Structure 1
Amino acid sequence: MRHRKIHVGIGGASGYAGGELVRLLLQHPDVQITYLSSHTYAGKSISTAFPGFAAHHLPPLEEFDIQRAAQKTDILFLAGETGFAMQVAKPLLEAGVRLIDLSADFRLRDPAVYAQWYRREHSAIDLLDEAAYGLPELVPHSQLREARLVANPGCYPTAALLALAPVMAQGWVDTESLVIDAKSGVSGAGRSKFGLDYHFAEINESMRAYGVPSHRHTPEIEQKLSDVAGRAITVTFTPHLIPVTRGILCTAYAKLVRPFSAHELTVHYRRFYQDKTFVVVRDPGDFPATKHVAGTNYCHISLTVDERRGQLVVTSVIDNLVKGAAGQAVQNMNLMFGLAESRGLELPPVFP
């Protein structure tokens, strides 16, 4: 029996994912936030970065310090830019702190693939084999319970993998035909993104594809789909930026290897996810909207079959900041500490 609450810290607490972690952890019955860092707001209250937290008593923001973080936390969420976690992970682990990295530093097992897609050399190669990939619906929970270091999945990969895993696991689709089309709200770019494309007048009432065909989430999607399928998989992945604050809508297309009805496939999806708290498989053709999961850790999925072409069309929606980032990180933390994975996370959506 646990005699005290889990002491948690957030490195990079003033970003969008960091702020969502604070929001979710404040209502978690088994944790206490004991450490918050931010380079931009060091020395200030979290309410300076997020005025909505003004009524809550939280530690002040400070410059990240490995020793102080290790002294104050049992587990640390690393919500900084890609490249930060691999610099600090080893000394934190040596100090006995467990880590959940929300960046891409430990998602890819091959350091050469990381260097190719992220254009930097990996500086903690010895930790790559140890890192557990934190998609609880597709990873044995025993791996997460025992992990010292969890690589929290990217937002696009979470939506795409949950949409395709059930048919990939059965070998029911032609793996040469996989096309993933995904749309994300602007918060997916992060809070420090100040490029021209993200100005209100540029993004409002407009949509565009980006990162084609070289978005950095592509190898992460391919790596996990290859694990599920048992052989090397490549995909065509096209992300789009849309004028909403949060949410991802992913539509995946694949040629079926034999005739299936939408009803058959829906039954299979429901069996595949039958004990997965945060996946809701809806009726065939009842396609979900991003509003249906806003502010929650849920993924809603629906599918249909284009019988003329023998093609599966499956749509998934998530909140990119919750199931695509902070919520999934808390879900992983729950499993790491032997709690129910849904602890503190069964929130209804904010609607409308």
Structure 2
Amino acid sequence: MHKELQDILALIRDQAAPLALATLLRVEGSSYRRPGSRLLTDGEQVLRGSLSGGCLEGEVLARAREVLADGVPRLLRYDLRGEADLVWGSGSGCEGVLDILVERLDPASPPAWVGWTEAVLRHRRTLRMTTATGEGFPRRRLDDGDIPGAGEVLEIIPPPIALWILGASDDSRPLVRLAKELGWRVGLLDHRPAFARPERFPEASRVLAGHPAQRIPDLGLDAHSAVVLMTHNYLKDLEALRLLADSDAPYLGLMGSRARSAKMVAELASEGLHCGDRLHSPVGLDLGAEDPGTIALAVLAEIQACFCGRTGGPLRTTRTVVSAS
């Protein structure tokens, strides 16, 4: 969702004419999209985002044109349960009740929440924001951690995942590209200056040269950070893991065989250092990956699952649904 949100914020800042923003505030039952999903439109076309599997977008676009015309926000409710789903689309399978807020935005003077959300991306702070859906909606405020009041919907927006890749060989390139497409912040570190060059990884936010002991302490690793070690150099990976063992990064991925990983873990344990369940090696989900592109897909899928508290298994074997926010 972060890439979509980043694109919407950029469009709000870049456009001159008024825009309409539709936000999925609340879901009862299941839904194709989660609460917090957004759709931005100029009234003629969808500029970015979606709220359903396609069954509601046309209807929401019509309401957005009304909001652009009179400036009055709408709070819409759509019941897609059972046979009602066939009325709105062709059986998208949402099977839930969706509350959607449609409001007009003036890019020349965007509301305060736009700046709050941009700060999440800039300063890597989690945003807790409540939106009032009662009289005078949509009033928004920064949440202080209390239970939302009656008629308020709480939205929690964490900062995007910061992925640091240790190793700037060619097989790191698809990992950088795919992570950037997800809206993650991506950095590379390599002890070889000839490899750690920004022009080789134009999608990366930072490309650093230097040995792990010199650079890792200053990477700013936090609870929303992931590190993937793929230097293909045993001693460099071991040196990096020594430093990462005490970091706040909840995900550490190590490229290589189980035997190589076990040897490193044993060496670190003999020094009193432990990475615990944070260390994933061989890194990535079992997708049958064999080339750099599919390996990158497997790695990013495992990181995504880890940060969402999921196992990464097939959805058909789970009972996870989107519940009311």
TM-score of the superposed pair, with normalisation by structure 2: 0.38
Q: Which protein is bigger by CA-based radius of gyration? A: 2
TM-score of the superposed pair, with normalisation by structure 1: 0.35
Higher relative contact order (CA 8 A, sep 6+): 1
